Amino acid sequence: MAKKAQIDLEKCKGCDMCIAVCPKAAIHKSGTSNKKGYDYIAINLDLCNGCGACYIICPDCCFTIVETAGSAR
Ligand code: SF4
Ligand code: SF4
């Protein structure tokens, strides 16, 4: 089992704090606006190692760290 980040894109305000702290450079802007009009972020799950840094830093509690099937990287 591997841990991965998941995002609630409708909570995201596009502040980019998670992008700055991700050690795997797995987070990028989606280029798409959510219902609030913010350019929310997307996660490259091939790069994400589930470290939780994004979960800790996000002021809007957008992230969940989940167990996924598949091997850890
Ligand atoms: S830290 Fe949270 S609110 Fe800010 S861009 Fe990342 S997911 Fe969105
Ligand atoms: S859990 Fe860690 S590696 Fe994955 S997106 Fe968040 S900060 Fe990046």
Task: Return the residue matching tokens 């987070």.
Answer: 27
Q: Which pLDDT value is given to residue 56?
A: 98
**How confident is residue 42, by pLDDT bands cut at 50, 70 and 90?**
very high
> What are the φ/ψ torsions at residue 47 (nearest 5 degrees)?
-95, -30
Query: Would the pLDDT of 35 be above 60?
Result: yes
Report all structural domains of the chain as residue ranges with CATH numbers, in order of start.
2-68 (3.30.70.20)
Ligand 2 site, residue 41, Cβ cutoff 6 A: no
Q: What would the two tokens of residue 59 be? A: 């002021």
59: amino acid identity, one letter: P
- Average pLDDT on 8-22 reads 98
Ligand nearest to the CA of 4: 2
Give the distance (Å) from ligand 1 centre to CA of residue 7: 9
Query: Residue 14 burial by CB count (10 A; 0-12/13-18/19+): exposed, middle or buried?
Result: middle
